[in-house]
C-alpha cells in the first residue's frame, strides 16, 4: 500500500469473487480518501490563515490578528485529522466527531454571511461560502462512507 500526503492507493485489493471490490472496501476507500482530503485541506487552511494572515485579512477586510487566531484555532483540528488518518481508525467515535466539526464550520459560515453580511467584503463572503461548500461536501462524503457500514 502506498500512502503520501496527497494520495492513497492499494495494489492489493480483495474481490467479491467476480473481480469487483466489495462494498465494504469501496466504503473504506471513500473514507481513506476523504480523510486524506480533509487532513490536507485543514493543514493548508492553518498555514494560509497563519502565515498568509495579512493577505487573507486584506481580502476579508478583517484584522490580521483575527485571521491568524482562526488559523491557530484550526491547528488542533488539523492535528486530530492527521492522527485519525494515521491510525486508520476512520470509523471511530472520534472520527465521527469530525463530521460535527464540519457541520459547525458550515453553520458558522452561513450565520456570518446571512447574519452579518457587512462583516466582510463581498469577495470575502464569496470565499467563505466557497470554503463552507467544500467543508460540507467533505462532511457529507464522510457520512456517505459511514452509511455503507449500516447496509
**Nearest in space to 24 (alpha carbons), one of 83, 82, 102, 91:** 91
Judge whether 36 and 46 are in contact, CB under 8 Å: no
pLDDT, tens only, 83-108? 999 998 898 889 999 999 999 999 99
pTM: 0.77
| Residue that has been written with the C-alpha cell 494520495 in this structure | 7
Which residues, other chains included, contact 92 with Cβ-Cβ below 8 Å and sequence gap of 6+? 84
Residue 80 has pLDDT above 50, yes or no: yes
pLDDT, tens only, 11-68? 444 445 554 555 566 556 888 999 999 999 999 999 999 999 999 999 999 999 999 9
Confidence bin at 4 (pLDDT 50/70/90): very low
Give 116 or 1, the one with higher predicted confidence: 116
**Nearest in space to 38 (alpha carbons), one of 3, 1, 71, 6:** 6
pLDDT at residue 28 in the model: 67
Measured CA to CA, the distance from residue 113 to residue 109 in angstroms comes to 6
Residue 109 has pLDDT above 80, yes or no: yes
> Three-state DSSP class for 11?
coil
Amino acid at each position: 500500500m502506498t500512502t503520501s500526503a496527497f494520495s492513497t492507493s492499494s495494489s492489493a485489493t480483495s474481490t467479491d469473487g467476480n473481480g469487483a471490490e466489495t462494498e465494504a472496501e469501496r466504503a473504506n476507500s471513500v473514507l481513506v480518501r476523504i480523510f486524506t482530503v480533509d487532513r490536507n485541506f485543514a493543514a493548508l487552511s492553518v498555514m494560509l490563515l497563519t502565515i498568509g494572515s495579512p493577505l487573507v485579512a486584506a481580502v476579508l477586510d478583517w484584522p490580521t490578528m483575527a485571521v491568524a487566531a482562526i488559523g491557530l484555532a484550526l491547528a488542533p483540528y488539523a492535528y486530530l485529522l492527521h492522527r485519525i488518518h494515521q491510525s486508520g481508525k476512520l470509523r471511530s467515535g472520534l472520527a465521527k466527531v469530525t463530521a460535527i466539526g464540519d457541520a459547525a464550520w458550515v453553520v458558522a459560515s452561513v450565520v456570518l454571511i446571512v447574519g452579518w453580511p457587512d462583516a466582510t467584503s463581498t469577495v470575502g463572503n464569496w470565499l467563505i461560502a466557497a470554503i463552507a461548500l467544500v467543508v460540507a461536501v467533505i462532511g457529507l462524503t464522510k457520512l456517505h462512507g459511514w452509511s455503507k457500514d449500516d447496509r
